[in-house]
């Protein structure tokens, strides 16, 4: 006999761009929204009864409807507005999850001055939020950045590791260190300044990465996490995922050339995968 287990459904990759017009400038945002609902949907699975199902197309339209009246300036604020609307208008829903990615559009600098209505896409990193609320409960907000692609050409080593009969890796005292990091953080403050927190954390992460004398990805990851905690007292913990995107020294000996750490072959598969949470 079969029975229904945990289930949820929603709408994914709802694309939204928004212009907020001020007297002296425009603000521009580009968001991709993912909505998931949990609740009393059993009859739709087991009895072919859709009477408690909000169509996912309606969820898509709800994103645009809420955005039209929204005063939110951050993806965190908008995620909570959208989730509250869905909970308020759908009593069959017991829990909502809203995840948003934001592309980092920044003002174009023209003759040394930020232009009021022209923007340049930075990246490849995107800002992220995962907002979860159980009905009658408080919001749980996890902010972050995905695809923070950074690289340093020195002050990175890897020695002293386990060697056995299958080890071919040579110790390195001066290597390229590249990663495309995913970083998330959870708040201990009830009403943080989301934009300010993100700015301070991203600045601290990059500063620590640049200055760090790395003995391994693990070593740098922990100190980057510690720097984020120091920069943002309002967060409780941060989780960093840092794949080690390798640059392998090219063998130029068949061409009669030496290679004094000059020419490399970048690869991203396979790569090392390092992840940890750093908390207070």
What pTM value is reported for the model? 0.95
**pLDDT one-digit tens code per residue, 5-55:** 999 999 999 999 999 999 999 999 999 999 999 999 999 999 999 999 999
Q: What is the mean pLDDT of residues 179-204?
A: 97
pLDDT recorded at residue 190: 87
Q: What is the mean pLDDT of residues 223-252?
A: 97
* Spans of all domains in the chain: 9-138, 147-279
CATH 3.40.640.10 for domain 9-138, yes or no, is no
What's the chain's average pLDDT? 97
Q: What is the mean pLDDT of residues 204-232?
A: 98
Q: Decide if 9-138 and 147-279 have a common fold.
A: yes
Residues with catalytic roles: 11, 56, 246
**pLDDT one-digit tens code per residue, 72-124:** 999 999 999 999 999 999 999 999 999 999 999 999 999 999 999 999 999 99
Q: Quick one: tokens of 119?
A: 């923007």
Q: What is the mean pLDDT of residues 221-242?
A: 98
Task: Looking at the structure, give the CATH architecture of the domain made up of residues 147-279.
Answer: Roll (3.10)
């Amino acid at each position: 006999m079969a029975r229904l287990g945990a289930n949820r459904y929603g709408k994914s990759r709802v694309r939204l761009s928004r212009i907020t017009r001020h007297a002296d400038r425009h603000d521009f945002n580009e968001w991709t929204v993912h909505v998931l609902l949990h609740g009393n949907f059993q009859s739709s699975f087991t009895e072919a009864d859709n009477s408690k199902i909000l169509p996912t197309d309606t969820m898509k339209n709800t994103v645009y409807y809420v955005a039209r009246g929204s005063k939110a300036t951050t993806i965190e604020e908008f995620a909570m507005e959208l989730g509250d609307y869905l909970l308020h208008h759908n009593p069959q829903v017991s829990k909502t999850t809203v995840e948003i990615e934001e592309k980092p559009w920044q003002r174009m600098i023209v003759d040394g001055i930020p232009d009021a209505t022209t923007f340049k896409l930075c990246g490849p990193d995107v800002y992220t939020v995962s907002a979860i609320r159980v009905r009658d409960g408080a919001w749980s907000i996890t902010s972050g950045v995905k695809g923070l692609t950074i690289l340093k050409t020195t002050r990175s080593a890897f020695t002293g590791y386990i060697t056995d009969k299958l080890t071919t890796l040579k110790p390195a005292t001066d290597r390229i260190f590249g990663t495309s990091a995913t970083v998330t953080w959870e708040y201990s403050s009830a009403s943080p300044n989301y934009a300010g927190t993100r700015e301070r954390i991203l600045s601290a992460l990059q500063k620590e990465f640049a200055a760090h004398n790395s003995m391994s990805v693990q070593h740098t990851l922990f100190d980057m996490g510690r720097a984020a905690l120091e920069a943002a007292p309002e967060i409780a913990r941060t989780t960093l995922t840092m794949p080690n995107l390798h640059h392998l020294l090219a063998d130029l000996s068949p061409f009669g050339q030496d290679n004094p750490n000059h020419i490399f072959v970048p690869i991203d598969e396979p790569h090392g995968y390092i992840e940890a949470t750093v908390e207070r």
